[in-house]
Amino acid sequence: MKPYQSAEKELFPLRKPTPLAVPIVEQSEDKNLKKVIKERRLRGKNQRQYLVRYTNPVHEDEWLAESEVPDSDKLLRRFRH
- For the chain, the domain total comes to 1
In a domain, 60, yes or no: yes
Tell which wins on pLDDT, 77 or 26.
77
Q: What is the pTM of this model?
A: 0.58
Choose among 44, 43, 30, 42: nearest CA to 66. 42
For residue range 27-77, list pLDDT tens digits in order: 556 678 889 999 999 887 788 899 999 887 777 899 999 888 888 888 888
In a domain, 18, yes or no: no
Provide the residue range defining the domain that includes 47. Answer: 32-81
In a domain, 14, yes or no: no
In a domain, 78, yes or no: yes
**What's the rounded Cα separation, in Å, for the pair 33 and 69?**
8
In a domain, 59, yes or no: yes
- DSSP β-ladder status, 33-41 and 62-65: unpaired
**What's the rounded Cα separation, in Å, for the pair 16 and 1?**
29
| φ and ψ of 48, to 5 deg | -110, 145
Give the amino acid at 7. A
Tell which wins on pLDDT, 6 or 60.
60
